[in-house]
């Protein structure tokens, strides 16, 4: 079996936020031999996505921040989207990162679509409403459809509750949630 490499895509617009805290809490139970890469999207800002699919038709080879994200994405077996709930969906940086997947599908030689197939997509999110499942339904739904679109496997969803940074209620997690990544 291929060695697992987890990529954590952190989509919060602040450092050390609740979503990262929750992600780090459950990632601590990953086997020590499982590689982990953590990227805070705020640190890898991307220009606005341009839709040139039907004009130029191809996208240039990624460079700079885009290349870091591109390489990390293709290198991972497991991609964890760790985005807080912003307006019932993912944060803007997370959405922009996903928009770039559309570009990467059209980077000559990248073979992006074929290489995404079979990777596992996981979701971790925190929101400030106790009714987490209902409030996060669109965030989860759009990520699930995105995974399906790219023939990715679905890892699962972990939702947390909290508002101010550091609020996330880790004590509220059940055993199954703490063992989120146990496969
Ligand atoms: C722009 C913005 C939009 C938000 N939208 C929602 C929302 O739709 N529903 C909700 O319950 N909380 C919403 N929140 C609250 C955050 O989800 C909450 O504070 C969360 O803990 C932030 O996670 P973080 O610490 O990882 O950044 C929003 C916060 C911001 C800044």
> Could you please report the per-residue DSSP string of 23-61?
HHHHHTTS-TTSEEEEEEGGGS--PPP---TTTT-S-PP
Which residues span the domain enclosing 78? 5-177
| 85 occurs within a structural domain | yes
pLDDT for 183 equals: 57
What are 19's two structure tokens? 């979503």
Do 139 and 89 contact (CB within 8 A), yes or no? yes
Q: What ligand 1 atom has the least distance to the C-alpha of 84?
A: 23
Q: Is a pLDDT exceeding 60 seen at residue 1?
A: yes
Say yes or no: CB of residue 126 within 6 Å of ligand 1: yes
| 16 occurs within a structural domain | yes
- Burial, 96: exposed, middle or buried (Cβ in 10 Å; 0-12, 13-18, 19+)? middle
In the chain, the largest separation of any two C-alpha atoms, in whole Å, equals 52
| 164 occurs within a structural domain | yes
Helix count (H) and strand count (E) of the chain? 7, 5
Residue to mutate, 84, 124, 133, 136, ligand 1, most ligand atoms under 8 Å from C-beta: 84
| 183 occurs within a structural domain | no
| 170 occurs within a structural domain | yes
Confidence band for 31, pLDDT divided at 50, 70 and 90: very high
| 182 occurs within a structural domain | no
Task: For residue 168, give the CATH number of its domain.
Answer: 3.40.50.360
| 133 occurs within a structural domain | yes
Q: Model confidence over 46-67: pLDDT tens digits?
A: 999 999 999 999 999 999 999 9
Q: How far is CA 46 from CA 52, 70, 78, 86, 99, in A?
A: 16, 12, 22, 19, 11
Q: Is a pLDDT exceeding 80 seen at residue 149?
A: yes
pLDDT for 117 equals: 98
The number of folded domains in the chain is: 1
What are 116's two structure tokens? 């995404």
| 118 occurs within a structural domain | yes
Q: How far is CA 148 from CA 4, 64, 85, 103, in A?
A: 20, 29, 21, 18
Q: What is the pTM of this model?
A: 0.97
């Amino acid at each position: 079996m291929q060695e697992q490499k987890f990529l954590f895509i952190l989509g919060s617009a602040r450092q050390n936020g609740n979503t990262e805290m929750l992600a780090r809490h459950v990632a601590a139970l990953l086997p020590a031999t499982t590689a982990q890469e953590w990227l805070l999207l705020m640190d890898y800002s991307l220009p606005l996505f341009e839709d040139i699919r039907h004009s130029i038709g191809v996208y240039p080879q990624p460079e700079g921040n885009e290349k870091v994200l591109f390489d990390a994405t293709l290198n991972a077996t497991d991609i964890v989207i760790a985005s807080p709930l912003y307006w019932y969906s993912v944060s803007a940086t997370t959405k922009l990162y996903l928009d770039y997947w559309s570009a990467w599908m059209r980077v000559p030689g990248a073979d992006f679509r074929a290489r995404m197939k079979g990777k596992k997509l996981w979701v971790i999110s925190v929101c400030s409403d106790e009714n987490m499942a209902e409030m996060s339904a669109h965030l989860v739904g759009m990520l699930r459809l995105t995974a399906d679109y790219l023939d990715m496997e679905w890892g699962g969803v972990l939702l947390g509750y909290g508002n101010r940074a550091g609020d996330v209620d880790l004590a509220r997690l059940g055993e199954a949630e703490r063992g989120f990544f146990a496969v």
